[in-house]
Amino acid sequence: MADKTIVAFDLYGTLLSTESIAKQLETYIGTKAEAVSALWRRYQLEYTWRLNSMERYEDFSIVTKNALVHALAEHGEQLNDNNITALMEAYDHLSTFPDVKPALIRLSADASIQPVVFSNGSKTMVSNSVLRSQDLSMHASIFQDLITVDEVQRYKPSPASYNHLATQMGKQESQMDQMWLISGNPFDVVGARSVGMQAIWVDRVNKGWQDAVAPELRPSAIVHSLEQVVLVVQGRR
């Protein structure tokens, strides 16, 4: 196991499409669904960063629910508790991006790679999402662990979250560069690079790297499909 290359996949926005929940939203709010869905995701992320800055922590499921309420209110919408609960349950059944299935099949063929999920989601939320997603559940056995930030109560991109990943993987601080983060979220890539990890950014829309919060912190590699990840990791080994 020690010789294997650790490849940590972000879950929401990398393997699972948070945009796919717009279908459920449309049932309740019609044509506003896509706009609310995008704002929901924006506030979900923003809340985690604000909580980190305030040195506070809320379970990711609570963060997600509060972000939904905020996004709805901003569009002049309000749903009852039952509908909110139904939308939260829908998070357990998000669709994967089209490139996920072939990428995981390719990944399973390389015994030298140790794939894990590394997410801001709570342990329960992540486990439900991986095991109940119709698209992802059939590949769940590929992941050798589900690592979340519950224990350190610091969301990505806090250094504490990536250090927690290293601890869980049996790596020392000096060995951070032996681990790979795979993420479609630029903030996550920058966070990983800031602590010395390797990081691949999944640029599915081919817009190019634009994040300038710390210009010197760029992805180790950029791919346009998750299928390219295995080749990149193998090439850098």
Phi, psi of 221 (to 5 degrees): -160, 155
Identify the active-site residue in 10, 99, 135, 188: 10
pLDDT tens digit sequence for 65-110 = 999 999 999 999 999 999 999 999 998 999 999 999 999 999 999 9
Mean pLDDT of 115-129: 96
DSSP string, the chain: -TTSEEEEEP-BTTTB-GGGGHHHHHHHHGGGHHHHHHHHHHHHHHHHHHHHHTT----HHHHHHHHHHHHHHHTT----HHHHHHHHHHGGGPPBPTTHHHHHHHHHT-TTEEEEEEESS-HHHHHHHHHH-TTTGGGGGG-S-EEESTTTT--TTSHHHHHHHHHHTT--GGGGGGEEEEES-HHHHHHHHHTT-EEEEE-TT-------SSTT---SEEESSGGGHHHHHHHH-
- In this prediction, residue 1 has a pLDDT band, given cuts at 50, 70 and 90, of very low
Q: Fold for domain 5-16+94-236?
A: Rossmann fold (3.40.50)
Domain boundaries, given as residue ranges, for the chain: 5-16+94-236, 18-91
- Beta 146-148 vs 221-223: how paired, if at all? unpaired
pTM of the model: 0.95
Query: What is the model's pLDDT at position 168?
Result: 96
Mean pLDDT of 128-141: 94
Q: Are 203 and 222 in contact (CB under 8 A)?
A: yes
pLDDT at residue 199 tops 60 = yes
- For the segment 36-55, the average pLDDT, to the nearest whole number, is 97
Q: Is 99 in the active site?
A: no
Burial class (CB in 10 A: 0-12, 13-18, 19+), 90: middle
- Residue 20 above 50 pLDDT? yes
Tell me the CATH architecture of domain 18-91: Orthogonal Bundle (1.10)
pLDDT value of position 31 = 96
Two tokens, residue 42: 């924006």
The CA–CA distances, whole Å, from 228 to 47, 66, 68, 201, 225 equal 32, 36, 33, 11, 6
- Average pLDDT of the residues of the chain: 95
- As a whole-number percent, the residues of the chain with pLDDT over 70 amount to 99
Distance, CA of 77 to chain centre: 27
